[in-house]
Structure 1
Protein backbone atom coordinates (compact mmCIF):
# COMPACT_ATOMS: atom_id res chain seq x y z
CA UNK A 1 0.00 0.00 0.00
CA UNK A 2 1.27 3.42 -0.89
CA UNK A 3 0.33 6.98 -1.76
CA UNK A 4 1.20 8.71 -5.02
CA UNK A 5 1.30 12.49 -5.24
CA UNK A 6 -0.83 14.01 -7.99
CA UNK A 7 0.37 17.09 -9.86
CA UNK A 8 -1.46 19.42 -7.44
CA UNK A 9 0.00 17.69 -4.38
CA UNK A 10 -3.05 15.57 -3.56
CA UNK A 11 -2.10 12.15 -2.17
CA UNK A 12 -3.76 9.29 -4.07
CA UNK A 13 -4.03 5.97 -2.24
CA UNK A 14 -2.93 2.86 -4.15
CA UNK A 15 -3.20 -0.77 -3.06
CA UNK A 16 -0.80 -2.92 -5.11
CA UNK A 17 -1.07 -6.70 -4.63
CA UNK A 18 0.39 -9.75 -6.27
CA UNK A 19 2.53 -10.30 -9.33
CA UNK A 20 1.86 -11.10 -12.95
CA UNK A 21 -0.18 -9.31 -15.60
CA UNK A 22 -1.47 -6.06 -14.04
CA UNK A 23 -5.14 -5.14 -13.71
CA UNK A 24 -5.83 -1.59 -12.48
CA UNK A 25 -9.24 -1.08 -10.85
CA UNK A 26 -11.14 2.23 -10.84
CA UNK A 27 -14.05 2.23 -8.42
CA UNK A 28 -17.51 3.66 -8.81
CA UNK A 29 -19.33 6.49 -7.07
CA UNK A 30 -19.39 6.91 -4.08
CA UNK A 31 -17.29 3.92 -3.02
CA UNK A 32 -13.56 3.05 -2.90
CA UNK A 33 -11.15 0.46 -4.29
CA UNK A 34 -12.42 -1.93 -1.61
CA UNK A 35 -15.60 -2.54 -3.62
CA UNK A 36 -13.53 -4.98 -5.74
CA UNK A 37 -12.71 -7.24 -2.79
CA UNK A 38 -14.27 -10.32 -4.40
CA UNK A 39 -12.50 -9.68 -7.67
CA UNK A 40 -9.14 -9.38 -5.89
CA UNK A 41 -9.57 -12.75 -4.14
CA UNK A 42 -10.13 -14.59 -7.40
CA UNK A 43 -7.69 -12.74 -9.64
CA UNK A 44 -4.79 -12.88 -7.19
CA UNK A 45 -5.26 -16.63 -6.94
CA UNK A 46 -5.19 -16.76 -10.75
CA UNK A 47 -1.78 -15.09 -10.79
CA UNK A 48 -2.64 -11.49 -11.61
CA UNK A 49 -1.30 -8.29 -10.10
CA UNK A 50 -4.22 -6.25 -8.80
CA UNK A 51 -3.86 -2.49 -8.34
CA UNK A 52 -6.72 -0.66 -6.65
CA UNK A 53 -6.86 3.14 -6.68
CA UNK A 54 -8.97 5.40 -4.47
CA UNK A 55 -9.98 8.47 -6.46
CA UNK A 56 -9.32 11.79 -4.78
CA UNK A 57 -12.12 12.49 -2.32
CA UNK A 58 -12.74 8.79 -1.67
CA UNK A 59 -11.43 5.98 0.52
CA UNK A 60 -7.94 6.60 1.85
CA UNK A 61 -6.97 9.30 -0.64
CA UNK A 62 -6.81 12.98 0.26
CA UNK A 63 -10.13 14.80 0.14
CA UNK A 64 -9.42 18.35 -1.03
CA UNK A 65 -11.95 21.01 -1.84
CA UNK A 66 -12.01 21.86 -5.53
CA UNK A 67 -11.81 20.09 -8.87
CA UNK A 68 -13.55 16.72 -9.34
CA UNK A 69 -13.70 16.77 -13.12
CA UNK A 70 -12.92 13.86 -15.43
CA UNK A 71 -9.80 15.76 -16.51
CA UNK A 72 -8.56 15.81 -12.92
CA UNK A 73 -9.40 12.14 -12.27
CA UNK A 74 -7.67 11.09 -15.51
CA UNK A 75 -4.58 13.12 -14.64
CA UNK A 76 -4.47 11.50 -11.18
CA UNK A 77 -4.55 8.08 -12.84
CA UNK A 78 -1.68 9.06 -15.15
CA UNK A 79 0.38 10.14 -12.14
CA UNK A 80 -0.21 6.77 -10.47
CA UNK A 81 0.66 4.69 -13.53
CA UNK A 82 3.76 6.79 -14.19
CA UNK A 83 4.92 6.42 -10.59
CA UNK A 84 4.34 2.65 -10.58
CA UNK A 85 6.08 2.41 -13.97
CA UNK A 86 3.67 -0.31 -14.99
CA UNK A 87 2.89 -1.30 -18.58
CA UNK A 88 0.64 -3.85 -20.24
CA UNK A 89 -2.23 -2.80 -17.99
CA UNK A 90 -5.79 -4.02 -18.25
CA UNK A 91 -7.69 -0.95 -17.06
CA UNK A 92 -10.97 -1.93 -15.38
CA UNK A 93 -13.37 0.92 -14.58
CA UNK A 94 -16.71 0.47 -12.85
CA UNK A 95 -19.53 3.04 -13.18
CA UNK A 96 -17.94 6.49 -12.65
CA UNK A 97 -14.60 4.67 -12.87
CA UNK A 98 -15.65 3.61 -16.36
CA UNK A 99 -16.12 7.25 -17.26
CA UNK A 100 -12.67 8.04 -15.89
CA UNK A 101 -11.18 5.16 -17.88
CA UNK A 102 -12.90 6.26 -21.10
CA UNK A 103 -11.59 9.81 -20.71
CA UNK A 104 -8.10 8.71 -19.67
CA UNK A 105 -7.62 6.64 -22.81
CA UNK A 106 -8.06 9.65 -25.07
CA UNK A 107 -6.60 12.37 -22.84
CA UNK A 108 -3.39 10.40 -22.21
CA UNK A 109 -3.08 8.48 -25.48
CA UNK A 110 -3.71 5.08 -23.88
CA UNK A 111 -0.46 5.37 -21.89
CA UNK A 112 0.45 2.16 -20.00
CA UNK A 113 -2.81 0.44 -21.08
CA UNK A 114 -3.08 -2.55 -23.42
CA UNK A 115 -6.68 -3.53 -22.71
CA UNK A 116 -9.79 -1.75 -21.45
CA UNK A 117 -12.60 -3.28 -19.39
CA UNK A 118 -15.70 -1.14 -18.83
CA UNK A 119 -17.94 -2.46 -16.05
CA UNK A 120 -21.42 -0.93 -15.91
CA UNK A 121 -19.70 2.22 -17.07
CA UNK A 122 -21.22 5.66 -16.56
CA UNK A 123 -20.06 6.42 -20.07
CA UNK A 124 -20.11 7.96 -22.55
CA UNK A 125 -23.13 10.18 -21.82
CA UNK A 126 -25.89 9.78 -19.25
CA UNK A 127 -28.16 12.78 -19.74
CA UNK A 128 -29.98 14.19 -22.73
CA UNK A 129 -28.13 16.41 -25.17
CA UNK A 130 -29.46 18.08 -28.32
CA UNK A 131 -28.07 15.20 -30.38
CA UNK A 132 -28.67 12.55 -27.70
CA UNK A 133 -32.37 12.68 -26.86
CA UNK A 134 -32.38 9.12 -25.53
CA UNK A 135 -30.39 10.15 -22.45
CA UNK A 136 -31.81 10.50 -18.96
CA UNK A 137 -33.42 13.72 -17.81
CA UNK A 138 -31.13 15.66 -15.49
CA UNK A 139 -33.91 15.54 -12.88
CA UNK A 140 -33.35 11.80 -12.55
CA UNK A 141 -29.79 12.36 -11.26
CA UNK A 142 -30.27 15.59 -9.34
CA UNK A 143 -31.63 13.83 -6.21
CA UNK A 144 -28.23 12.16 -5.79
CA UNK A 145 -26.53 15.55 -5.75
CA UNK A 146 -29.11 17.15 -3.48
CA UNK A 147 -28.99 14.13 -1.17
CA UNK A 148 -25.22 14.37 -0.93
CA UNK A 149 -25.62 17.96 0.20
CA UNK A 150 -28.47 17.49 2.67
CA UNK A 151 -28.62 13.90 3.99
CA UNK A 152 -25.77 11.87 2.55
CA UNK A 153 -26.39 8.93 4.86
CA UNK A 154 -29.95 8.51 3.61
CA UNK A 155 -28.95 9.08 0.01
CA UNK A 156 -26.25 6.40 0.21
CA UNK A 157 -28.76 3.93 1.63
CA UNK A 158 -31.29 4.69 -1.09
CA UNK A 159 -28.65 4.49 -3.81
CA UNK A 160 -27.53 1.12 -2.49
CA UNK A 161 -31.03 -0.25 -2.97
CA UNK A 162 -30.79 0.61 -6.68
CA UNK A 163 -27.56 -1.26 -7.30
CA UNK A 164 -28.54 -4.90 -7.55
CA UNK A 165 -30.87 -7.21 -9.43
CA UNK A 166 -30.29 -10.14 -7.07
CA UNK A 167 -30.90 -10.06 -3.32
CA UNK A 168 -27.89 -9.11 -1.22
CA UNK A 169 -27.43 -9.64 2.50
CA UNK A 170 -28.14 -6.84 4.95
CA UNK A 171 -24.50 -7.02 5.97
CA UNK A 172 -23.36 -6.50 2.37
CA UNK A 173 -25.58 -3.44 2.05
CA UNK A 174 -24.28 -2.03 5.34
CA UNK A 175 -20.69 -2.57 4.20
CA UNK A 176 -21.29 -0.74 0.92
CA UNK A 177 -23.01 2.06 2.81
CA UNK A 178 -19.94 2.39 5.03
CA UNK A 179 -17.67 2.67 1.96
CA UNK A 180 -19.83 5.50 0.67
CA UNK A 181 -19.75 7.29 4.00
CA UNK A 182 -15.92 7.19 3.95
CA UNK A 183 -16.02 9.58 1.00
CA UNK A 184 -15.96 13.35 1.27
CA UNK A 185 -19.40 14.90 1.02
CA UNK A 186 -17.97 17.63 -1.20
CA UNK A 187 -16.42 15.06 -3.53
CA UNK A 188 -19.62 13.01 -3.59
CA UNK A 189 -21.70 15.97 -4.75
CA UNK A 190 -19.13 17.44 -7.12
CA UNK A 191 -18.31 14.20 -8.93
CA UNK A 192 -22.02 13.40 -9.30
CA UNK A 193 -22.31 16.71 -11.15
CA UNK A 194 -19.38 15.57 -13.30
CA UNK A 195 -20.96 12.32 -14.44
CA UNK A 196 -24.36 13.99 -14.82
CA UNK A 197 -23.04 16.63 -17.21
CA UNK A 198 -20.22 14.83 -19.03
CA UNK A 199 -20.31 13.94 -22.71
CA UNK A 200 -17.46 11.52 -23.37
CA UNK A 201 -18.58 10.48 -26.84
CA UNK A 202 -15.60 12.23 -28.48
CA UNK A 203 -13.24 10.17 -26.29
CA UNK A 204 -14.42 6.92 -27.85
CA UNK A 205 -12.56 7.70 -31.09
CA UNK A 206 -9.28 7.73 -29.16
CA UNK A 207 -9.67 4.15 -27.91
CA UNK A 208 -7.89 1.61 -30.09
CA UNK A 209 -6.99 -1.17 -27.63
CA UNK A 210 -9.13 -4.31 -27.26
CA UNK A 211 -12.13 -3.38 -25.13
CA UNK A 212 -14.69 -5.45 -23.28
CA UNK A 213 -17.94 -3.91 -22.08
CA UNK A 214 -19.53 -5.81 -19.18
CA UNK A 215 -23.04 -4.59 -18.39
CA UNK A 216 -26.14 -5.84 -16.60
CA UNK A 217 -29.29 -5.79 -18.69
CA UNK A 218 -31.31 -4.76 -15.61
CA UNK A 219 -29.11 -1.76 -14.81
CA UNK A 220 -31.29 1.08 -13.45
CA UNK A 221 -28.43 3.55 -12.91
CA UNK A 222 -26.54 3.41 -16.22
CA UNK A 223 -29.22 1.93 -18.49
CA UNK A 224 -27.97 -0.68 -20.94
CA UNK A 225 -29.37 1.02 -24.05
CA UNK A 226 -27.78 4.44 -23.49
CA UNK A 227 -24.40 3.31 -22.19
CA UNK A 228 -23.32 -0.23 -23.10
CA UNK A 229 -24.78 -0.24 -26.60
CA UNK A 230 -23.44 3.24 -27.37
CA UNK A 231 -19.96 2.23 -26.18
CA UNK A 232 -20.03 -0.90 -28.33
CA UNK A 233 -20.96 1.14 -31.39
CA UNK A 234 -18.47 3.93 -30.69
CA UNK A 235 -15.28 2.06 -29.73
CA UNK A 236 -13.43 0.44 -32.59
CA UNK A 237 -12.36 -2.84 -30.98
CA UNK A 238 -15.17 -3.27 -28.47
CA UNK A 239 -17.13 -6.38 -27.56
CA UNK A 240 -20.23 -6.23 -25.39
CA UNK A 241 -20.81 -8.98 -22.81
CA UNK A 242 -24.36 -9.06 -21.46
CA UNK A 243 -24.99 -9.94 -17.82
CA UNK A 244 -28.51 -11.28 -17.91
CA UNK A 245 -28.95 -11.53 -14.13
CA UNK A 246 -27.31 -8.26 -13.13
CA UNK A 247 -28.33 -4.74 -12.38
CA UNK A 248 -25.72 -2.02 -11.98
CA UNK A 249 -23.79 -3.96 -9.33
CA UNK A 250 -22.61 -6.84 -11.49
CA UNK A 251 -19.58 -7.21 -9.18
CA UNK A 252 -21.95 -8.85 -6.68
CA UNK A 253 -24.92 -9.88 -8.85
CA UNK A 254 -22.80 -12.21 -11.01
CA UNK A 255 -19.44 -12.29 -9.26
CA UNK A 256 -18.28 -15.62 -10.64
CA UNK A 257 -19.06 -14.74 -14.24
CA UNK A 258 -17.40 -11.34 -14.00
CA UNK A 259 -14.28 -12.76 -12.37
CA UNK A 260 -13.90 -15.45 -15.00
CA UNK A 261 -14.47 -12.94 -17.81
CA UNK A 262 -11.85 -10.56 -16.42
CA UNK A 263 -9.30 -13.34 -15.98
CA UNK A 264 -9.81 -14.55 -19.54
CA UNK A 265 -9.62 -11.04 -21.00
CA UNK A 266 -6.62 -9.86 -18.99
CA UNK A 267 -4.62 -13.07 -19.38
Structure 2
Protein backbone atom coordinates (compact mmCIF):
# COMPACT_ATOMS: atom_id res chain seq x y z
CA UNK A 1 0.00 0.00 0.00
CA UNK A 2 2.45 2.70 -1.15
CA UNK A 3 -0.23 5.42 -1.36
CA UNK A 4 -3.38 6.30 0.55
CA UNK A 5 -6.02 8.51 -1.07
CA UNK A 6 -7.17 11.14 1.39
CA UNK A 7 -10.34 13.21 1.59
CA UNK A 8 -9.72 15.61 -1.30
CA UNK A 9 -8.40 12.94 -3.66
CA UNK A 10 -4.72 13.61 -2.99
CA UNK A 11 -2.58 10.49 -2.76
CA UNK A 12 -0.22 10.43 0.21
CA UNK A 13 2.83 8.20 0.08
CA UNK A 14 3.26 5.73 2.94
CA UNK A 15 6.17 3.40 3.67
CA UNK A 16 5.14 0.59 6.02
CA UNK A 17 7.90 -1.71 7.27
CA UNK A 18 8.20 -4.48 9.80
CA UNK A 19 5.89 -5.86 12.44
CA UNK A 20 5.34 -5.19 16.12
CA UNK A 21 4.36 -2.05 17.99
CA UNK A 22 3.87 0.72 15.39
CA UNK A 23 5.89 3.93 15.27
CA UNK A 24 4.58 6.56 12.84
CA UNK A 25 7.06 9.16 11.57
CA UNK A 26 6.12 12.68 10.44
CA UNK A 27 9.03 14.40 8.71
CA UNK A 28 10.23 17.97 8.87
CA UNK A 29 10.33 20.75 6.30
CA UNK A 30 11.24 20.58 3.46
CA UNK A 31 12.28 16.92 3.59
CA UNK A 32 10.35 13.64 3.42
CA UNK A 33 10.03 10.33 5.27
CA UNK A 34 13.48 9.20 4.16
CA UNK A 35 15.07 11.67 6.58
CA UNK A 36 14.47 8.96 9.22
CA UNK A 37 16.61 6.39 7.38
CA UNK A 38 18.94 6.02 10.36
CA UNK A 39 16.05 5.53 12.76
CA UNK A 40 14.19 2.92 10.72
CA UNK A 41 16.82 0.19 10.64
CA UNK A 42 17.67 0.03 14.37
CA UNK A 43 14.02 0.30 15.36
CA UNK A 44 13.04 -2.44 12.92
CA UNK A 45 15.80 -4.62 14.33
CA UNK A 46 14.42 -3.91 17.81
CA UNK A 47 11.08 -5.38 16.73
CA UNK A 48 9.04 -2.28 15.91
CA UNK A 49 6.84 -1.58 12.91
CA UNK A 50 7.92 1.68 11.25
CA UNK A 51 5.51 3.75 9.18
CA UNK A 52 6.83 6.79 7.30
CA UNK A 53 4.48 9.31 5.71
CA UNK A 54 5.35 11.90 3.05
CA UNK A 55 3.22 14.97 3.66
CA UNK A 56 1.33 16.28 0.64
CA UNK A 57 3.63 18.41 -1.47
CA UNK A 58 6.74 16.56 -0.32
CA UNK A 59 8.62 13.40 -1.31
CA UNK A 60 6.54 10.93 -3.30
CA UNK A 61 3.13 12.29 -2.30
CA UNK A 62 0.90 14.25 -4.67
CA UNK A 63 1.67 17.95 -4.91
CA UNK A 64 -1.51 20.02 -5.17
CA UNK A 65 -1.21 23.77 -5.56
CA UNK A 66 -2.98 24.77 -2.36
CA UNK A 67 -3.92 23.64 1.16
CA UNK A 68 -0.74 23.29 3.20
CA UNK A 69 -2.08 24.18 6.63
CA UNK A 70 -1.76 22.13 9.80
CA UNK A 71 -5.43 21.15 9.71
CA UNK A 72 -5.04 19.57 6.28
CA UNK A 73 -1.78 17.84 7.16
CA UNK A 74 -3.39 16.45 10.34
CA UNK A 75 -6.41 15.22 8.38
CA UNK A 76 -4.06 13.44 5.97
CA UNK A 77 -2.39 11.65 8.88
CA UNK A 78 -5.80 10.62 10.20
CA UNK A 79 -6.75 9.18 6.79
CA UNK A 80 -3.52 7.16 6.66
CA UNK A 81 -3.91 5.77 10.18
CA UNK A 82 -7.57 4.95 9.51
CA UNK A 83 -6.58 3.06 6.37
CA UNK A 84 -3.75 1.18 8.08
CA UNK A 85 -5.98 0.52 11.10
CA UNK A 86 -3.08 0.84 13.52
CA UNK A 87 -3.73 0.95 17.24
CA UNK A 88 -1.75 2.38 20.14
CA UNK A 89 0.95 3.81 17.87
CA UNK A 90 3.80 6.06 18.92
CA UNK A 91 3.50 9.21 16.79
CA UNK A 92 6.88 10.84 16.12
CA UNK A 93 6.95 14.36 14.71
CA UNK A 94 10.16 16.15 13.73
CA UNK A 95 10.25 19.96 13.32
CA UNK A 96 7.22 20.87 11.16
CA UNK A 97 6.12 17.26 11.69
CA UNK A 98 6.02 18.11 15.40
CA UNK A 99 3.54 20.86 14.64
CA UNK A 100 1.46 18.46 12.56
CA UNK A 101 1.55 15.91 15.38
CA UNK A 102 0.46 18.53 17.92
CA UNK A 103 -2.50 19.57 15.79
CA UNK A 104 -3.36 15.93 15.05
CA UNK A 105 -3.53 15.00 18.71
CA UNK A 106 -5.85 17.92 19.47
CA UNK A 107 -8.06 17.84 16.38
CA UNK A 108 -8.47 14.07 16.22
CA UNK A 109 -8.38 13.34 19.94
CA UNK A 110 -5.23 11.26 19.57
CA UNK A 111 -6.97 8.62 17.44
CA UNK A 112 -4.80 5.50 16.91
CA UNK A 113 -2.04 7.02 19.08
CA UNK A 114 -0.91 5.85 22.50
CA UNK A 115 2.29 7.92 22.84
CA UNK A 116 3.67 11.09 21.31
CA UNK A 117 7.31 12.00 20.60
CA UNK A 118 8.18 15.55 19.52
CA UNK A 119 11.66 15.99 18.06
CA UNK A 120 13.02 19.51 17.53
CA UNK A 121 9.38 20.44 17.11
CA UNK A 122 8.24 23.65 15.41
CA UNK A 123 5.51 23.71 18.03
CA UNK A 124 3.55 25.10 19.70
CA UNK A 125 4.45 28.63 18.57
CA UNK A 126 7.66 29.50 16.74
CA UNK A 127 7.46 33.23 16.08
CA UNK A 128 6.73 36.25 18.24
CA UNK A 129 3.13 37.04 19.15
CA UNK A 130 1.82 39.91 21.30
CA UNK A 131 1.54 37.48 24.22
CA UNK A 132 4.60 35.45 23.23
CA UNK A 133 7.50 37.91 22.98
CA UNK A 134 10.08 35.14 23.43
CA UNK A 135 9.32 33.76 19.96
CA UNK A 136 11.66 33.96 16.99
CA UNK A 137 11.32 37.25 15.03
CA UNK A 138 9.30 36.92 11.84
CA UNK A 139 12.14 38.32 9.80
CA UNK A 140 14.27 35.30 10.72
CA UNK A 141 11.75 32.95 9.10
CA UNK A 142 10.64 35.11 6.17
CA UNK A 143 13.82 34.37 4.14
CA UNK A 144 12.80 30.70 4.02
CA UNK A 145 9.50 31.66 2.40
CA UNK A 146 11.07 34.20 0.07
CA UNK A 147 13.93 31.87 -0.81
CA UNK A 148 11.53 29.06 -1.68
CA UNK A 149 9.93 31.42 -4.19
CA UNK A 150 13.05 32.95 -5.68
CA UNK A 151 15.95 30.46 -5.44
CA UNK A 152 14.82 27.26 -3.77
CA UNK A 153 18.03 25.30 -4.43
CA UNK A 154 20.13 27.96 -2.69
CA UNK A 155 17.67 28.36 0.18
CA UNK A 156 17.56 24.60 0.74
CA UNK A 157 21.35 24.43 0.85
CA UNK A 158 21.53 27.35 3.30
CA UNK A 159 18.85 25.77 5.48
CA UNK A 160 20.79 22.50 5.48
CA UNK A 161 23.84 24.31 6.86
CA UNK A 162 21.74 25.38 9.87
CA UNK A 163 20.54 21.89 10.74
CA UNK A 164 23.45 20.27 12.54
CA UNK A 165 25.72 21.02 15.48
CA UNK A 166 28.21 18.24 14.73
CA UNK A 167 30.19 18.14 11.53
CA UNK A 168 28.51 16.16 8.77
CA UNK A 169 30.08 14.76 5.61
CA UNK A 170 29.70 16.62 2.35
CA UNK A 171 27.81 13.60 1.05
CA UNK A 172 25.34 13.77 3.95
CA UNK A 173 24.70 17.43 3.23
CA UNK A 174 24.16 16.67 -0.45
CA UNK A 175 21.68 13.95 0.49
CA UNK A 176 19.73 16.24 2.80
CA UNK A 177 19.61 18.85 0.01
CA UNK A 178 18.32 16.26 -2.45
CA UNK A 179 15.48 15.30 -0.09
CA UNK A 180 14.43 18.93 0.13
CA UNK A 181 14.48 19.32 -3.63
CA UNK A 182 11.94 16.51 -4.02
CA UNK A 183 9.29 18.84 -2.60
CA UNK A 184 7.28 21.20 -4.78
CA UNK A 185 8.21 24.85 -4.66
CA UNK A 186 4.66 25.86 -3.82
CA UNK A 187 4.45 23.40 -0.90
CA UNK A 188 7.85 24.51 0.39
CA UNK A 189 6.81 28.17 0.56
CA UNK A 190 3.26 27.58 1.80
CA UNK A 191 4.27 25.12 4.53
CA UNK A 192 6.93 27.56 5.76
CA UNK A 193 4.20 30.18 6.11
CA UNK A 194 2.21 27.63 8.12
CA UNK A 195 4.88 26.91 10.72
CA UNK A 196 5.86 30.58 10.81
CA UNK A 197 2.35 31.79 11.65
CA UNK A 198 0.81 28.90 13.61
CA UNK A 199 -0.08 29.14 17.28
CA UNK A 200 -0.75 25.67 18.69
CA UNK A 201 -0.62 26.61 22.35
CA UNK A 202 -4.32 25.79 22.89
CA UNK A 203 -3.75 22.35 21.34
CA UNK A 204 -1.37 21.36 24.11
CA UNK A 205 -4.20 21.30 26.64
CA UNK A 206 -5.94 18.56 24.63
CA UNK A 207 -2.96 16.19 24.73
CA UNK A 208 -3.06 13.62 27.51
CA UNK A 209 -0.90 10.89 25.95
CA UNK A 210 2.55 10.26 27.43
CA UNK A 211 4.81 12.66 25.54
CA UNK A 212 8.56 12.63 24.98
CA UNK A 213 10.13 15.96 23.99
CA UNK A 214 13.61 15.57 22.48
CA UNK A 215 15.47 18.76 21.69
CA UNK A 216 19.03 19.81 20.94
CA UNK A 217 20.33 22.58 23.16
CA UNK A 218 22.17 24.12 20.17
CA UNK A 219 19.06 24.25 17.95
CA UNK A 220 19.18 27.47 15.88
CA UNK A 221 15.94 26.81 13.98
CA UNK A 222 13.51 25.94 16.77
CA UNK A 223 15.37 27.10 19.89
CA UNK A 224 14.74 24.87 22.88
CA UNK A 225 13.59 27.73 25.09
CA UNK A 226 11.02 28.80 22.47
CA UNK A 227 9.57 25.40 21.60
CA UNK A 228 10.85 22.34 23.47
CA UNK A 229 10.62 23.77 26.97
CA UNK A 230 7.21 25.30 26.25
CA UNK A 231 5.92 21.91 25.08
CA UNK A 232 7.28 20.16 28.15
CA UNK A 233 5.61 22.72 30.41
CA UNK A 234 2.33 22.89 28.49
CA UNK A 235 1.58 19.19 27.90
CA UNK A 236 0.41 17.55 31.08
CA UNK A 237 2.18 14.22 30.73
CA UNK A 238 5.40 15.36 29.03
CA UNK A 239 9.06 14.77 29.75
CA UNK A 240 11.89 16.66 28.07
CA UNK A 241 15.24 15.13 27.12
CA UNK A 242 17.95 17.66 26.28
CA UNK A 243 20.49 16.60 23.68
CA UNK A 244 23.73 18.28 24.69
CA UNK A 245 25.55 17.73 21.38
CA UNK A 246 22.70 18.41 18.95
CA UNK A 247 21.37 21.27 16.93
CA UNK A 248 18.08 21.01 15.09
CA UNK A 249 19.02 17.82 13.27
CA UNK A 250 19.37 15.48 16.23
CA UNK A 251 18.52 12.56 13.91
CA UNK A 252 22.11 12.85 12.65
CA UNK A 253 23.82 14.78 15.46
CA UNK A 254 23.10 12.15 18.13
CA UNK A 255 21.63 9.28 16.15
CA UNK A 256 22.38 6.46 18.56
CA UNK A 257 21.07 8.28 21.61
CA UNK A 258 17.88 9.35 19.80
CA UNK A 259 17.24 5.81 18.65
CA UNK A 260 17.69 4.52 22.19
CA UNK A 261 15.31 7.14 23.57
CA UNK A 262 12.68 6.29 20.96
CA UNK A 263 12.99 2.54 21.50
CA UNK A 264 12.73 2.90 25.28
CA UNK A 265 9.76 5.26 25.00
CA UNK A 266 7.84 3.29 22.37
CA UNK A 267 8.48 -0.11 23.97
Aligned to 1:175: 175
How far is the alpha carbon of 1:2 from its aligned partner?
1.3
Q: Distance between the aligned counterparts of 1:61 and 1:67, measured in 2?
A: 14
Aligned to 2:55: 55
Residues 33-56 of structure 1: CA deviation (Å, up to 9, x unaligned): 000000001000000000000000
Unmatched runs of 5 consecutive residues or more in structure 1? none
Counterpart position of 1:128: 128
Aligned residue for 2:249?
249
Partner SS, residue 92 of structure 2 = strand
1:65: how far off?
Answer: 0.5
Match for residue 160 of structure 2?
160
1:142-157 equivalences in 2 (<5 Å): 142-157=142-157
Corresponding position of 1:119: 119
What is the alpha-carbon distance in structure 2 between the residues aligned to residue 199 and residue 175 of structure 1? 31
Distance 1:34 1:137 in 2: 30
Query: Over the residues paired in the alignment, what is the CA RMSD in angstroms?
Result: 0.4
Matched position secondary structure for 1:146: helix
* Cα distance in 1 between the residues matched to 2:110 and 2:262: 19
Query: Counterpart in 2 of 1:25?
Result: 25
**Equivalence for 2:230:** 230
Q: Which residue of 1 aligns with 2:94?
A: 94
CA distance in 2, matches of 1:167, 1:2: 34
1:18-38 CA deviation, whole Å, 9 max, x = no partner? 000000000000000000000
Unaligned runs of 5+ in 2: none
Q: C-alpha offsets along residues 94-122 of structure 1, whole Å, 9 cap, x if unaligned?
A: 00000000000000001000000000000
For residues 2-81 of structure 1, the aligned pairs below 5 Å read: 2-81=2-81
- In the other structure, the counterpart of 1:195 is 195
Local SS of the residue matching 2:121: coil
